[in-house]
Amino acid sequence: MDYSKNAVREMNKVYKQHEEMNTVIVEPNSWLGKEILW
């Protein structure tokens, strides 16, 4: 099993769910937060 691909898939799934709710809550200090906010 490829864990990194699985993790990315999970993240994308969660992100899509949040997008549908129109509320993407991001930790500003997390790497994902930096990717989105910068």
pLDDT of residue 18: 64
pLDDT beneath 70: ranges in the chain: 1, 18-38
**Count of structural domains, the chain:** 1
**pTM for the predicted model, two decimal places:** 0.39
Contact 25, 36 (CB under 8 A): no
Amino acid letter for position 24: V
Close Cβ partners of 25 (under 8 Å, ≥ 6 residues apart): 18
Range of the domain at 22: 3-37
Q: How far is CA 7 from the centre of its chain?
A: 10
For residues 37, 5, 15, 32, the Cα torsion angle rounded to the nearest 10 degrees is -20
